[in-house]
Amino acid sequence: MRSGLDADDEDPSTAGNEDRLDESSDWIRTVYAIPMKRAPGDKYLYCSINAFLTGAIIENATKTPLDGFARTNLFGPLNIQSFHWRHVPVDRTTGQGNLEITARDAAALGQLMLNDGVVGGRRLISHDWVTGSLASQVPISDSDPYSDFYGYMWYTKAEPVADHKVTVHFASGNGGNKIYIVPSLHMVVAITSSAYGTRWGQRRSQDILLKILAATKPE
């Protein structure tokens, strides 16, 4: 989230605001036309087009739609059989979100990360990529009240529990959809939510997590 592109999901005036993509008849052409605003790596600023471009890179490299690639290389091995991933013009998958899966299947994705990218004795994701994804690469607490650091699409926060703190990694979606990983407890918490476009959806999910952590009495 430090591409330097003129894109900010919180600012509709920016060229790369997510709403502008929804209005586009050719998403990839629209994204390619977004100008740079600052040097890459200079500033963390959440914008959906960075994740969309990540998915587009996979599609270009594999010559396969992102949802098809995921079905073969990720969802299939995890026994995720029923899912829907939004397609947009011109025949692109929304890599930044709009993936519909069950809470149980979301938990399977979290368990994969917790198990260092291995499921059933088979490695699906490299150790280095899992480590980098969950690493505290970029401090973001000044702009995000729900997290301390950002990695590769995963967040990290030290959550207060009683008189100490517990490290939690999580993937975050609109409205409070979450996949929480708590390594010290070898625990995954998946929450599905339909509170799209609200502020309280994120807060509610965090409250649920904190209640679960309090009940476990982590040491």
Indicate if the pLDDT at residue 218 is higher than 70.
no
pLDDT tens-place string over residues 11-30: 999 999 999 888 999 999 99
Indicate if the pLDDT at residue 219 is higher than 70.
no
Q: Angle between the 103-114 and 127-134 helix axes, to the nearest 10 degrees?
A: 110
> Which domains occur in the chain, in start order?
1-101 (no CATH), 103-219 (3.40.710.10)
pLDDT tens-place string over residues 171-215: 999 999 999 999 999 999 999 999 988 889 999 999 999 999 999
Long-range contacts: 134-137, Cβ < 8 Å, 24+?
Answer: 134/169, 134/181
Phi, psi of 179 (to 5 degrees): -125, 110
Give the DSSP letter string of 78-141: TT----EE-EETTTEE-TTS-EE--HHHHHHHHHHHHTTTEETTEE-S-HHHHHHHHS--EE-T
Indicate if the pLDDT at residue 78 is higher than 60.
yes
User: CB of 7 within 8 A of CB of 15?
Assistant: yes
Q: Tell how many helices (H) and how many strands (E) occur in the chain.
A: 7, 12
What percentage of the chain reaches a pLDDT higher than 70? 99
Indicate if the pLDDT at residue 217 is higher than 80.
no
Q: For the whole model, what pTM was predicted?
A: 0.94
